[in-house]
Amino acid sequence: MRLCFFSQAAWIKVETKAILTIHHHIITRNYRISLSHSDNRNFVLHIRNVQKSDRGGYMCQINTAPMKSQIGYVDVLVPPDIIMNESSTDITAREGTNVSLVCKAKGYPSPNISWRREDNQPIPLGTWHGKKVLATSFDGAQLNISRVSRLHMGAYLCIASNGVPPSVSRRILLHVNFPPVMWIPNQLVGAPLDKDVTLDCHTEAYPASINYWAKDGGDMIINDAKYETSIKEKNYKVHMRLAIKNLEPQDFGTYKCFAENSLGSTEGSIRLYEIPPPTSEPTKDTAAIRRQSVEEVEVFPRHQSLGSVKNSGKETEDSEGDQSKNPVTDGKYRASEEAAAAHEDHSQTSNRKRNRSGSEKVSEKSAGYKTKDFTLILTLVLAVLFTIST
C-alpha cells in the first residue's frame, strides 16, 4: 500500500515505466492492484497477495509545473523452497567410493543450506593430518563424502532457511552396499548335560543378508523341540541367537552361523563342549579351613572370657587379697584385671609344661647313664671270671 497526497496524481512502476493509476482511474490490468482516495488529495495504492514480481520502486507523480514525484520501494520476502529437480534423491553407493549429496533452494533473501543426520549422529568427513574429522552439521549446498563406509549409512536432512518462516527440509537416504562381515563374542562355550545353552553371532551386511545356523557341516537348523533360532535386526546389523534345550551327548560339537547376500558370504564357528555339573561338596582346602576353625574354637571357647580361667588356691588367695586392697569400682577396669590375670595364669601353665617336659628329659638322660654304668660293670665281671677260669 502506498500513499500520494495531491490532486491529479498518478502511480507508475519505476522498473517497467508502466502507468498503474491516473487520478481516480486504474490503468493496469493487474487485478491485484486497487486505489483509494479522499478529498482528492490522498491517493493510496493497494497491492493484494504480494508476489515476487511486485518487488521494486513505485513513483507517485503529480502534474504540476514543474512536475513533482516521490519514489517508494517494495521489498518482497520469499520463504525458502527446495528445488526438487536440482537436488539429490536417495543414493546407493558401494563401500569405498566417493559420494556427493546436492541440495538447491530458492527464496528471498537467498537461503542458506545446512546438512545434518536425522539421528543427530556426527558425520564422518574423512581425515585431516591423520585425524578423523567429525561434524554434527555441514553448511553448503553440496555435501561431499570421501571413501564412504557403512558408518555413513542413514538419512540426511538438507535444511534451507533465510530468516523468513518457515524453513524447509528434504530427507535423503544414503545406502552403502558391502558384503557380510561376522563377529562372534564366544567361540568356545561349555555347558553341562541336561541344561539349556544359547549361542550368539553378530553380522553386518547391506543389502540384507540371509542368515542361518548349521551343525558339523550338516543341514540348516530349523526351529523344533530341540532348537530355537531368533534374529534381531537394527539397520544393517543382525544379532543371531541359537538356543539348544536339554543338552544331550550328541548335542556337543561345532555349530556354524552363515550370512550371505549378493556381494558375498561369510561364516563363523562355535564349539560347544561338555563341562561337569556344579557340585556342592567341600574341597580339601575348605575341609582343612573348617578343621582349623574347630581347633581354634576348642582352644579358646567362643563364650568363655579370658577372665574366667580357674587359678590355683594360692593364686586365688593372692588375688582375693589384692582385690581387698584395691577394690574394683568399674566393670571396665575389672575386665582388664581379669584379662591380665588370665594372661599370667596362661604363662604360668606354659612354664609348668616346659619344666615338666625338661624334667622328663633329664630323667630319661639319667636312666640312660645308669644303664651304661651297669653294662660296663657287668662286662668287667665277665672278663675277670673268664681270666680266672683260664
The predicted-structure confidence for 174-201, as pLDDT tens digits, reads as follows 999 999 999 999 999 999 999 999 999 9
Residue 307 has pLDDT above 70, yes or no: no
Architecture field, domain 80-178: Sandwich (2.60)
> Residue 372: which pLDDT band, with cuts at 50, 70 and 90?
low
> Residue 367: which pLDDT band, with cuts at 50, 70 and 90?
low
- What is the pLDDT, as a whole number, of residue 320? 41
Q: What share of the chain is helix, strand, coil (3-state, %, to 5)?
A: 25, 40, 30
- What is the pLDDT, as a whole number, of residue 124? 87
Sign of CA dihedral 276, 278, 284, 285: positive
CATH number attached to the domain at 9-76: 2.60.40.10
> Residue 279: which pLDDT band, with cuts at 50, 70 and 90?
confident
- Please, which residues bridge with residue 238 across strands? 203, 233
What is the per-residue pLDDT across 54-73, written as a single tens digit (0 to 9) for each? 999 999 998 888 888 999 99
The pTM is what? 0.60
> What is the C-alpha separation between 247 and 260, in angstroms, rounded?
29
Whether residue 188 contacts residue 197, with contact meaning beta carbons closer than 8 Å, is answered with no
Are domains 80-178 and 184-274 of this chain identical in fold?
Answer: yes
Cell of 331: 566393670
CATH class of 184-274: mainly beta
Peptide bond into 277 cis (omega under 30): no
> What is the C-alpha separation between 201 and 239, in angstroms, rounded?
6
Peptide bond into 180 cis (omega under 30): no
Residue 319 has pLDDT above 70, yes or no: no
| Nearest in space to 169 (alpha carbons), one of 110, 87, 51, 85 | 87
Whether residue 150 contacts residue 121, with contact meaning beta carbons closer than 8 Å, is answered with no
If one compares 371 and 218, the residue with the highest pLDDT of the two is 218
- What is the pLDDT, as a whole number, of residue 248? 95
- Please, which residues bridge with residue 90 across strands? none
- What is the pLDDT, as a whole number, of residue 245? 96
Least confident of 90-94, 159-163, 244-248, 362-366: 362-366
In the chain, the N- to C-terminal Cα span, in Å, equals 172
Q: CB-side exposure of 271: number of CA atoms within 13 Å?
A: 4
> Residue 24: which pLDDT band, with cuts at 50, 70 and 90?
confident
Cell of 70: 516521490
Cell of 329: 569400682
Cβ atoms within 10 Å of 70's Cβ, excluding its own: 14
Report the chain's mean pLDDT, rounded to a whole number: 80
What is the per-residue pLDDT across 68-88, written as a single tens digit (0 to 9) for each? 899 999 999 999 999 999 999
Residue 332 has pLDDT above 90, yes or no: no
Three-state DSSP state, 191: strand
| Nearest in space to 187 (alpha carbons), one of 173, 202, 200, 203 | 200
- What is the pLDDT, as a whole number, of residue 380? 74
> Residue 280: which pLDDT band, with cuts at 50, 70 and 90?
low
Share of the chain above pLDDT 70, in %: 73
- What is the pLDDT, as a whole number, of residue 285? 53
Residue 324 has pLDDT above 60, yes or no: no
Residue 145 has pLDDT above 50, yes or no: yes
> What is the C-alpha separation between 71 and 14, in angstroms, rounded?
8
> What is the C-alpha separation between 10 and 59, in angstroms, rounded?
8
Give me the DSSP letters along 182-222: EE-S-SEEEE-TT--EEEEEEEEEESPPEEEEEETT-SBP-
Strand residue runs (E) in 220-305: 227-234, 237-244, 253-261, 264-274
How far are the Cα atoms of 75, 338, 349, 352, 384 from residue 345, in angstroms, in the given order?
112, 10, 6, 11, 59
What is the per-residue pLDDT across 209-240, written as a single tens digit (0 to 9) for each? 999 999 987 889 999 999 999 999 998 999 99
Cβ atoms within 10 Å of 260's Cβ, excluding its own: 17
Domain regions of the chain by residue span: 9-76, 80-178, 184-274
Strands 91-94 and 168-183, by their bridges, are parallel
Instruction: Average the pLDDT over 25-29 and give the result.
Output: 92
Give me the DSSP letters along 92-152: EEETTS-EEEE--EEEESPPEEEEEETT-PPEEEEEETTEEEEES-EESSEEEESS--GGG
> Residue 294: which pLDDT band, with cuts at 50, 70 and 90?
very low
Cell of 216: 558339523
- What is the pLDDT, as a whole number, of residue 40? 76
